[in-house]
C-alpha cells in the first residue's frame, strides 16, 4: 500500500490543558493490513485481503486487529471508516503506576492441590505496564482521541472509562477535541471491591466520560430504563374501581400540567382541587425510570464463568448497558483497547457489528477464542439471531496484523522475567530506565531484536536530560550488533560517570541463556481416510510454560501429567493456502478446567489438500503444523 497522508480535523474546543511536548495530529498515515486468520463457521466465503469499508458495508465481517491502536485507527481512516463508527467504548490505561497481569491457570490440574495465586498450576503473565510519565500519557491519549473523533459518526457516542488517577485530565482533553457542548455525562460505575483503607474514603467507583459527536446522537433510554424501587411505589397509594394502584400529580409537576383525558374523574377534581393527572403504577413499572448517571454493577468475580484472568476485565453487564443505550442492532461498535474482548463479546450478543484491536497478542488471541465460543453458541441457538432492516447478526470475523507486532516473546513478560532472574529493583517513577541493579541504572532492550546504535543513542539522549545523573548504566540485551562494542568503549573513555556495561544473555556465563526462546513443539499424526482427515495430537511441549513454572516454584520441579493442560485451544484449516488461516474447526474447551479433545475427524476436499493445525498454548504462543494429504 503506498504511503498516503490522511488529514486530521483540528480540535473543536479551545486548548484547555498544556503539557511538555503537546502537539496535535495534522496528518497520519495508514499501514498495510495483513490478513492472518478468518473465522467463518457458516462458510460464507467472506475473505477481504484489505478490509475497506466500501467492500464490507453490505457484506460485513467483524474485524480484530493486532497492532498499535494509533496505527490501526490511522489505517481504518485510510480504509474509508471516517464517520462510520456508531459507538466507541475504550478502557485505556489509568496511569495507575501498576503492572497489570493476566492470571493463567493450566487446564485440568485441580488434582495438583490448592488452586489459588500461589498454586503450581497458576502463572501470572504481565500483559502491560501502566507506568507513565504524565506528559507522555497525555500525548498518548490526545493523539488517539483525535483519531477516534474522526472515525465517529455524526450520530455516534464515545465512552472513555477511567478512574481517579487521570480522568480529570482526560476530560479537559476531550473538551478540547470534541467541544464542551459534546460532553453529556460523567458516569460513576459503582462496584464492590475489597479495599480496606482507614486513612481515606475507600475507592468504590470508576468514571466513564460520555461525549457525542453532535446533538443528533443515538440514546435509547427505554432499553436501559431502571425498575421502580419500593420507596417510589409508596406514592401510588390510591386504588381505582378496578383495583389498579395510582397516584395523582399536581399542576406544578415538571413545571406544566399533565392533563390526560379520562384520567381524572369529577370526583378526583372535586376531592383534589388543582390536580391534573392520574398515573398508574403498572404503567410506571412497564416504562421504568429514566436511567441515572451512576451504575451499580459488581466487578467480574473470580468464581464467575465470565472471568478470564484479566486483572482489569470489565463485566458484560456494564457494556450491555452502554451498547443498548447508545447503539442500534447493526451499528458498528469500536474498542481499540480490546483486552479480554468484553466489548466485542457483548456487541456480538446484541447483534451489533464490531471492530477491536490490541497491541498485545495474548489479548487478541483471548478475544478470538471468546468470540468463537459465543458465535458457535449463537449458531446452535438460532433464535438468538438479531435482525435489523439492513443487517443480520454476523457470525464471522477476521484477524489482521498492522505493522510487525507479532513478537515471539511478549516484551512485558520478558522484562518481568529479567527483573525476577537478575534481582533488579524496579523503579516505578522512572519512565525510561527499568530499575536498578546495585547502584547502577538498568535498561532492558527489547529481546526480539539485538542492541543497536539507535538504542545507545536513546540512552545518550536521556542522559543529556539528566545532567545531575552520576550513576553507571547496565544494559540487558539478548544480543548486540558488531558496532556496539567500539561505541561503548569510546563512550567509557570519555565519561568518568555514566559508564555503560552490557549483560548479553547469549554469551554471559553468569546468567546464561535463560531467555533464549525455545519454541513450543507439537507431535501430530494426520492421515486421509476417503474424504476425511483423521487427526491425532500425540504430544505437545511448551518450554516457555515449563520454564515459568519452575521459576515460580523453586522448591520442586513441576510435572505435567497430561500435555493437554498446556494447550488453550486447537484451530484447524482443512484447505490451507499457506497465507491466511481459515478456522474450519476450533476446539476451545467450554469450561476453564476442560481439556482439548486431541482427536479429530473432519471432512476434506477429494483432491490433494494442505491441512494446517494451529495449537495455542496457555501463554498465547502459537505452533502451526502443516500436512499434505
Which H, E and C letters describe 267-280, residue by residue? HHHHHCCCEEEEEE
| pLDDT above 70: residue 295 | yes
Q: Crossing angle, helix 342-349 and helix 361-380, to 10 degrees?
A: 20
Which residue has cell 487427526? 535
Residues 159 and 87 in one domain: yes
| pLDDT above 50: residue 435 | yes
Short-list 187, 181, 134, 102, CA closest to 410: 102
Residues 526 and 623 in one domain: yes
| Pair 224, 324: CB distance under 8 Å | yes
Flag whether 240 is in a domain: yes
Residues 476 and 578 in one domain: no
Q: Please tell me the distance from the alpha carbon of residue 395 to that of residue 39, in angstroms, as a whole number.
A: 8
How many other β-carbons are positioned within 10 Å of the β-carbon of residue 261?
5
Residue 168 pLDDT: 92
Residue 381, all three cell numbers:
441457538
Flag whether 413 is in a domain: no
Residues 351 and 442 in one domain: no
What is the DSSP secondary structure assignment for residue 304, as one 8-state letter?
S
One DSSP character per residue, 320-351 reads HHHHHHH--TT-EEEESS-TTSHHHHHHHHTT
Stretch 275-292: mean pLDDT, rounded? 81
- For the segment 369-424, what is each residue's pLDDT rounded down to a tens digit? 999 999 999 998 875 444 433 445 589 999 999 876 544 445 566 666 677 777 88
- For the four alpha carbons of 269, 271, 275 and 276, in that order, the dihedral sign comes to negative
| pLDDT above 60: residue 491 | yes
Flag whether 419 is in a domain: no
- CATH number at 538 reads 2.60.40.730
Q: Please tell me the distance from the alpha carbon of residue 94 to that of residue 312, in angstroms, as a whole number.
A: 10
Flag whether 298 is in a domain: no
Residues 484 and 340 in one domain: no
| Pair 315, 297: CB distance under 8 Å | yes
Residue 424 pLDDT: 86
Residues 344 and 438 in one domain: no
Confidence grade of residue 194 (pLDDT, cut at 50, 70, 90):
low
Residue 619 pLDDT: 82
| Pair 338, 69: CB distance under 8 Å | no
| Pair 475, 503: CB distance under 8 Å | yes
Residue 429, all three cell numbers:
517513577
Residues 486 and 532 in one domain: no
Residues 462 and 597 in one domain: no
Stretch 328-347: mean pLDDT, rounded? 96
Flag whether 212 is in a domain: yes
Short-list 405, 394, 338, CA closest to 366: 338
Averaged confidence pLDDT in the chain: 83
Residues 388 and 496 in one domain: no
Residue 350 pLDDT: 95
| pLDDT above 80: residue 238 | yes
- Say which residue, 242 or 331, is predicted with more confidence: 331
Residue 283 pLDDT: 84
Confidence grade of residue 592 (pLDDT, cut at 50, 70, 90):
confident
| Boundary-marking domain end, from 348, 367, 402 | 402
Stretch 179-186: mean pLDDT, rounded? 94
Residue 431, all three cell numbers:
519512565
Residue 191 pLDDT: 86
Residue 198 pLDDT: 79
Residue 204 pLDDT: 87
Which residue has cell 495483513? 34
CA atoms within 13 A on the CB side of 388: 14
Residue 144, all three cell numbers:
488517539
Flag whether 410 is in a domain: no
Stretch 37-56: mean pLDDT, rounded? 92
Residue 111 pLDDT: 47
Stretch 61-85: mean pLDDT, rounded? 95
CA angle in degrees (0–180, nearest 5) for 352-104-299: 50
Confidence grade of residue 30 (pLDDT, cut at 50, 70, 90):
confident
Q: Please tell me the distance from the alpha carbon of residue 475 to that of residue 289, in angstroms, as a whole number.
A: 60
Flag whether 105 is in a domain: no
Work out how many domains the chain is built from and give that number: 4
| Pair 601, 532: CB distance under 8 Å | yes
- For the segment 297-326, what is each residue's pLDDT rounded down to a tens digit? 888 766 567 777 666 788 999 999 999 999
**What is this structure's pTM?**
0.74
| Pair 554, 565: CB distance under 8 Å | no
How many other β-carbons are positioned within 10 Å of the β-carbon of residue 291?
18
Residues 159 and 197 in one domain: yes
Beta bridge partners of 122: 105
- For the segment 533-568, what is each residue's pLDDT rounded down to a tens digit? 999 999 999 887 887 776 655 545 567 889 999 999
Q: Please tell me the distance from the alpha carbon of residue 604 to that of residue 532, in angstroms, as a whole number.
A: 5
Short-list 414, 391, 237, 285, CA closest to 329: 391
| Pair 152, 190: CB distance under 8 Å | no
Q: Please tell me the distance from the alpha carbon of residue 285 to that of residue 289, in angstroms, as a whole number.
A: 8
Range of the domain at 247: 230-287
Gap between the terminal Cα atoms of the chain: 36
| Boundary-marking domain end, from 501, 531, 556 | 501
Residues 611 and 555 in one domain: yes
H/E stretch holding 567: strand 567-573
- For the segment 118-136, what is each residue's pLDDT rounded down to a tens digit? 444 566 655 444 445 677 7
Using DSSP bridges, classify how beta strands 99-105 and 610-617 pair: parallel, antiparallel or unpaired. Answer: unpaired
Residues 396 and 370 in one domain: yes
Q: Please tell me the distance from the alpha carbon of residue 77 to that of residue 152, in angstroms, as a whole number.
A: 11
- For the four alpha carbons of 325, 328, 330 and 332, in that order, the dihedral sign comes to negative
Residue 113 pLDDT: 39
Flag whether 77 is in a domain: yes
- Please give the C-alpha separations between residue 314 and each of 92, 226, 415, 612, in angstroms, as whole numbers: 12, 21, 26, 34
Residue 49 pLDDT: 92
- Say which residue, 121 or 203, is predicted with more confidence: 203
| Pair 465, 435: CB distance under 8 Å | no
Confidence grade of residue 78 (pLDDT, cut at 50, 70, 90):
very high
H/E stretch holding 482: none
| Boundary-marking domain end, from 436, 466, 501 | 501
- CATH number at 170 reads 3.40.50.150
User: For residues 100-130, b (16+ Cβ closer than 10 Å) or e, as one string?
Assistant: bbbbbbbbbbeebeebeeebbbbbbbbbbbb
> In the structure, how many helices (H) and strands (E) does the chain have?
14, 30
| pLDDT above 70: residue 92 | yes
Amino acid at each position: 500500500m503506498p504511503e498516503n497522508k490522511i488529514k486530521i480535523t483540528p480540535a473543536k474546543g479551545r486548548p484547555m490543558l498544556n503539557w511538555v511536548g503537546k502537539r496535535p495530529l495534522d496528518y497520519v498515515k495508514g499501514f498495510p493490513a495483513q490478513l492472518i486468520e478468518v473465522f467463518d463457521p457458516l462458510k460464507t466465503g467472506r475473505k477481504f485481503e484489505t478490509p475497506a469499508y466500501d467492500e464490507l458495508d453490505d457484506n460485513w465481517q467483524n474485524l480484530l486487529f493486532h497492532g498499535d491502536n494509533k496505527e490501526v485507527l490511522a489505517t481504518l481512516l485510510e480504509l474509508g471508516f471516517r464517520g462510520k463508527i456508531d459507538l466507541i467504548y475504550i478502557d485505556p490505561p489509568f496511569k495507575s503506576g501498576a503492572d497489570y497481569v493476566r492470571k493463567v491457570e493450566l487446564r485440568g490440574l485441580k488434582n495438583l492441590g490448592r488452586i489459588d495465586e500461589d498454586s503450581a498450576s497458576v502463572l501470572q503473565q504481565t500483559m502491560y505496564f501502566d507506568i507513565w510519565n504524565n506528559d507522555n500519557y497525555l500525548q498518548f491519549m490526545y493523539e488517539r482521541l483525535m483519531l477516534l473523533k474522526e472515525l465517529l459518526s455524526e450520530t455516534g457516542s464515545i465512552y472513555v472509562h477511567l478512574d481517579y488517577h487521570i480522568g480529570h485530565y482526560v476530560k479537559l482533553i476531550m473538551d478540547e477535541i470534541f467541544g464542551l457542548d459534546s460532553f453529556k455525562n460523567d458516569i460513576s460505575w459503582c462496584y464492590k471491591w475489597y479495599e480496606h483503607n482507614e486513612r481515606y474514603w475507600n475507592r468504590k467507583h470508576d468514571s466513564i466520560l460520555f461525549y457525542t459527536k453532535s446533538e443528533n446522537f443515538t440514546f435509547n433510554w427505554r432499553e436501559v430504563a431502571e425498575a421502580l424501587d419500593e420507596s417510589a411505589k409508596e406514592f401510588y397509594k390510591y386504588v381505582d374501581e378496578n383495583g389498579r394502584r395510582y397516584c395523582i400529580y399536581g399542576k406544578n409537576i415538571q413545571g406544566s400540567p399533565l392533563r390526560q383525558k379520562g384520567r381524572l374523574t369529577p370526583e378526583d377534581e372535586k376531592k383534589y382541587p388543582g390536580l391534573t393527572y392520574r398515573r398508574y403504577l403498572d404503567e410506571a413499572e412497564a416504562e421504568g425510570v429514566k436511567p441515572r448517571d451512576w451504575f451499580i454493577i459488581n466487578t467480574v468475580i473470580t468464581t464467575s464463568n465470565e472471568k478470564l484472568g484479566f486483572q482489569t476485565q470489565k463485566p458484560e453487564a456494564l457494556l450491555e448497558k452502554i451498547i443498548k443505550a447508545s447503539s442500534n442492532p447493526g451499528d458498528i461498535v469500536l474498542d481499540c483497547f480490546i483486552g479480554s474482548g468484553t466489548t466485542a463479546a457483548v456487541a456480538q450478543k446484541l447483534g451489533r457489528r464490531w471492530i477491536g484491536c490490541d497491541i498485545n497478542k495474548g489479548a487478541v488471541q483471548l478475544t478470538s477464542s471468546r468470540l468463537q465460543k459465543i458465535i458457535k453458541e449463537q449458531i446452535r441457538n438460532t433464535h438468538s439471531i438479531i435482525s435489523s432492516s439492513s443487517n443480520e447478526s454476523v457470525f464471522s470475523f477476521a484477524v489482521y496484523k498492522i505493522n510487525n507486532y507479532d513478537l515471539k516473546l511478549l516484551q512485558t513478560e520478558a522484562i518481568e522475567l529479567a527483573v525476577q532472574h537478575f534481582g533488579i529493583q524496579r523503579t516505578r517513577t522512572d519512565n525510561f530506565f527499568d530499575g536498578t541493579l546495585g547502584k547502577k541504572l538498568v535498561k532492558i532492550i527489547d529481546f526480539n531484536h539485538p542492541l543497536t546504535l539507535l538504542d545507545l543513542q536513546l540512552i545518550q539522549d536521556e542522559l543529556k536530560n539528566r545532567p545531575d545523573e552520576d550513576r553507571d548504566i547496565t544494559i540487558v540485551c539478548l544480543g548486540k550488533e558488531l558496532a556496539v562494542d567500539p561505541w561503548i568503549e569510546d563512550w567509557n573513555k570519555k565519561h568518568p560517570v555514566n559508564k555503560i556495561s552490557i549483560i548479553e544473555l547469549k554469551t554471559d556465563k553468569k546468567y546464561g541463556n535463560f531467555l533464549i526462546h525455545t519454541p513450543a513443539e507439537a507431535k501430530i499424526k494426520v492421515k486421509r481416510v476417503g474424504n476425511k482427515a483423521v487427526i491425532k495430537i500425540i504430544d505437545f511441549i511448551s518450554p516457555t510454560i515449563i520454564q515459568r513454572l519452575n521459576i515460580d516454584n523453586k522448591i520442586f520441579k513441576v510435572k505435567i501429567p497430561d500435555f493437554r493442560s498446556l494447550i488453550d485451544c486447537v484451530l484447524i484449516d482443512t484447505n490451507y493456502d499457506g497465507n491466511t488461516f481459515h478456522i474450519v474447526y476450533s476446539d476451545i474447551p467450554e469450561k476453564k478446567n476442560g481439556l482439548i479433545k486431541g482427536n479429530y475427524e473432519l471432512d476434506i476436499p477429494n483432491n490433494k489438500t494442505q491441512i494446517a493445525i494451529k495449537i495455542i498454548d496457555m501463554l498465547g504462543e502459537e505452533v502451526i503444523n502443516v500436512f499434505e494429504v
